[in-house]
Amino acid sequence: MNLFIKNITQLVTVAAHGKPWRIGPEMRDLGLIGEAGVLCRDGKIAWVGKMSEFRETLPEDMPEFDAEGSVVLPGFVDAHTHLMFAGHRADEFALRAGGASYQDIAAAGGGIISTITKVREATKKQLKRSAARHLAEMMKHGTTTAEIKTGYGLDMDSEVKMLEAINELADEEMATVVPTFLGAHAVPPEFRGRPDAYVELVIERMIPYAGKRHLAVFCDVFCETGYFDLAQTEKILTAGMRNGMQAKVHAEELTPLGGAELAGALGAVSADHLEHITDRGIRALRDGQVVAVLLPGVSFFLNHRYAPARALVDAGVPVALASDFNPGSCMSYAMPLMMTIACTHMGVSPEEAITACTLNGAAALRRSALEGSVEVGKNADLIVAEVPDYRYLAYHFGTNHVTHTIKGGTLLEIP
């Protein structure tokens, strides 16, 4: 809870100065401080600056950590994950390597549907145990806050099971967990050919239950051809907002359906994926102040096109990066790897990538007043990386440079 981090060779603050995010050229300004220190008190950041300017006399029992030779930056905020699941889909990975497409696998009963079967069979305890292991590994790679979606149950009992498990993790784990209801992830097998009937189940039973018990911060929909169309998406998100949840949208992943425009019209917190977004969609996100959450790992893993990150940044849309960790389309939770892919395949600079993984990631969860930058009053969530320069995080890929993760002022050494 209390900690003084001293002699930081390079401190990346991503200081927001009261703004919820950084956009456009601002994303390149990381607020670097050399030979710096950070004082954490009662789990919050109490002082930030150059060591030469520190004047406070610390109590004798104040823990200190010498970060000489290291870079310190805000903890990563992973604003889009499906990290609660059962089983695996390594067989599908092999099929894709042999030429099968994501759509081919889904049409043959694989994809989301295969994970649904396993999640329905799993107990809440089993789901929690697996998710807790993932969260622990994510913290080792610097992720201190993670959103977790439902969407692998797709019936009343299983979606509630997932929501309860996610909320219990939020109470029990060190990482900050943000629950999102994604009952509209796909149409389950028992409703095949009757999508509107399933939409009614989501609206009439699942959403009111989750809302009344405050089980989800966000309501999300996979708005895509073959999943949920624009009208169905709007109905579900509107119902979610009536029941106290903020809106998110899986938009334009496989086709330019218009989910980005809908996100802008509804005032959604974020629109995620956006690999096929149009110029009109970009304008809608900018005008609606919707965070664009881009998922480089998915495009890399599925060998799909990448979202137009450069166009979104240049248009003034707040852009975040997230892992989309899930068993089918991105089996990775390493945010530095997402930064590398964004820099090498999406035209993003290392500075923009860090901003997108920290402050703007927090904005995509409406948490940038609490985290995402190293500023007085925010949660003391930090990463210590033993590298000579912050750019190493994306440059030297395939290894974990994080030596310590600091959560709420508590120092965790990475084994």
Q: Quick one: average pLDDT of 139-146?
A: 98
Q: How high is the pLDDT of residue 112? A: 81
Q: What percent of the chain has pLDDT over 70?
A: 100
What are the distances in angstroms from CA 256 to CA 226, 233, 300, 303? 13, 15, 20, 18
Q: What is the DSSP letter of 99?
A: T
Q: Is 391 in the same domain as 358?
A: no
**Which pLDDT score is estimated for 104?**
81
At 235-255, the pLDDT tens digits run 999 999 999 999 999 999 999
Q: Looking only at Cα atoms, what is the longest distance across the chain?
A: 69
Q: What is the pLDDT of residue 1?
A: 87
**What's the pTM value of the predicted model, to 2 decimals?**
0.97
Angle between helices 335-345 and 350-357 (to 10 degrees): 140
Domain check: are 23 and 92 in the same one? no
pLDDT of residue 387: 97
Please check whether residues 270 and 395 belong to one and the same domain.
no
For 226-263, give the DSSP string.
TSB-HHHHHHHHHHHHHTTPEEEEEESSSS--SHHHHH
Shared-domain flag, residues 21 and 158: no
User: Are 308 and 391 in the same domain?
Assistant: no
Q: What is the pLDDT at residue 283?
A: 98
Mean of all residue pLDDT scores within the chain: 96
One domain for residues 356 and 409: no
Place of tokens 């994501």: 102
Q: Over range 196-218, report the average pLDDT.
A: 98
CATH of the domain at 57: 2.30.40.10
User: Angle CA(136)–CA(295)–CA(119) in degrees, nearest 5?
Assistant: 55
Looking at the structure, do residues 42 and 165 belong to the same domain, yes or no? no
**Tell me, what DSSP letter sits at residue 59?**
P
Sole residue written with tokens 């409406």: 366
**pLDDT category of residue 363 using cuts at 50, 70 and 90:** very high
Number of domains in the chain: 2
Let me know whether 196 and 313 are in one domain. Answer: yes
215 — pLDDT class (breaks 50, 70, 90) = very high
| pLDDT band at residue 150 using 50, 70 and 90 as cut-offs | very high
pLDDT at residue 187, rounded to an integer: 95
Please say whether the beta carbons of 398 and 388 come within 8 A. no
Comparing CA positions, the residue from 398, 304, 365, 318 lying closest to residue 175 is: 365
Q: Tell me the three state secondary structure of residue 330.
A: strand
CATH of the domain at 318: 3.20.20.140
**Separation of alpha carbons 372 and 3, rounded Å:** 19
Per-residue pLDDT for 124 more than 90?
Answer: yes
Phi, psi for residue 382 in degrees, rounded to 5: -140, 160
Query: Residue 3 has what pLDDT?
Result: 98
Flag whether pLDDT at 362 surpasses 90.
yes
Rounded CA-CA distance 82/169 in Å is 14
pLDDT band at 366 (very low <50, low <70, confident <90, very high): very high
Same domain, 64 and 83: no
Across the chain, how many H-helices and E-strands are there? 16, 16
**Residues 153 and 241 reside in one and the same domain:** yes
Q: Report d(CA 115, CA 250) in Å as an integer.
A: 18
Exposure of 168 in the CB half-sphere (CA atoms within 13 A):
15
The residue among 345, 363, 381 that closes a domain is 363
Which is more confident, 60 or 128? 128
CA separation for the pair 10, 68 (Å, rounded)? 9
Please, which pLDDT band fits residue 281 given cuts at 50, 70 and 90? very high
Q: Which helix (H) or strand (E) holds 182?
A: strand 176-184
- Residues 154, 263: one domain? yes
For helices 124-140 and 156-172, angle between their N-to-C axes, nearest 10 degrees: 40
Residue 401, classed as helix, strand or coil, is: coil
Give how far Cα 269 sits from Cα of 87, 139, 256, Å: 31, 25, 19
Cite the beta strand spans of 291-399 per DSSP E. Answer: 291-294, 319-321, 382-385
27 and 163 part of one domain:
no
Which structural domain, as residue segments, surrounds residue 291? 77-363
Q: What is the pLDDT of residue 36?
A: 98
3-state secondary structure of 6: strand
Q: Ramachandran region of residue 68, left (φ > 0), alpha (ψ -120 to 50) or beta? A: beta
The average pLDDT across 142-157 equals 98
Residue 354: predicted pLDDT: 98
